[in-house]
């Protein structure tokens, strides 16, 4: 299967333009109509930051997505950088979490492509590739964090909290 793209969740048929977040197509089939309404109201609010996760390891994508959704973030996952690049022109993301080594376009190349496109999306690199030169290159190119796998959830959450607190203060929302 290619990237597990998420779908927007809409409030109701009467309000088709008001959406509450994202859900994976596989989860949508598992949730009944009544449960969908509860899920929409409680787990995905329209003002939640949307985090894109790009990693070729399905277990990592699912674990990160589940963790972040439980904490109130909306997520959208991709198994390849090319799929993410096709989607970024259609959707706004507040942060990108990506692996360094992936088939095709790797995380560092993805970061460089985004900058060449003029994107200012914050990038967090997660990887089991712990070469100091790679870490320095990622940070010099603008990554907000470089986290080595395996990592504690708190480490990632600390970076996200700092990032979104900073962005909110820049927007005057704090």
Residue 143 phi/psi, 5-degree rounding, is: -60, 140
Determine, yes or no, domain membership for 166. Answer: yes
Given a cut of 70, the residues of the chain with pLDDT beneath it are 1-46, 166-174
Q: Is residue 6 part of a domain?
A: no
- Domain span holding position 166: 48-171
Is residue 106 one of the residues assigned to a domain?
yes
What pLDDT is stored for residue 167 in this prediction?
53
Domain containing 96 — which CATH number?
3.40.50.2300
Instruction: Give me the pLDDT at residue 75, please.
Output: 93
Confirm whether 18 is domain-assigned: no
Cα 132 to its chain centre, rounded Å, is 25
pLDDT digits over 70-92, tens only? 888 999 999 999 999 999 988 88
Q: What is the pLDDT of residue 171?
A: 52
**3 belongs to a structural domain:** no
| Beta carbons of 164 and 94 less than 8 angstroms apart | yes
């Amino acid at each position: 299967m290619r990237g597990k793209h998420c779908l927007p969740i809409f409030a109701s048929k009467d309000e088709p333009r008001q959406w509450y977040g994202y859900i994976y197509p596989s989860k949508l089939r598992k949730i009944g109509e009544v449960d969908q309404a509860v899920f929409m109201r409680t787990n995905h609010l329209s003002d939640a930051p949307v985090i894109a996760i790009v990693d070729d390891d399905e277990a990592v994508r699912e674990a990160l997505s589940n963790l972040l959704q439980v904490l109130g973030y909306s997520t959208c996952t991709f198994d390849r950088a090319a799929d993410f690049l096709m989607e970024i022109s259609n959707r706004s993301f507040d942060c990108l979490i990506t692996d360094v080594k992936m088939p095709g376009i790797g995380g560092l190349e993805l970061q460089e492509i985004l900058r060449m496109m003029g994107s200012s999306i914050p990038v967090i690199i997660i990887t089991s590739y712990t070469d100091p030169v790679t870490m320095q290159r990622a940070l010099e190119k603008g990554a907000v964090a470089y986290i080595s796998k395996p990592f504690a959830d708190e480490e990632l959450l600390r970076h996200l909290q700092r990032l979104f607190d900073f962005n909110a203060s820049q927007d005057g929302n704090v």
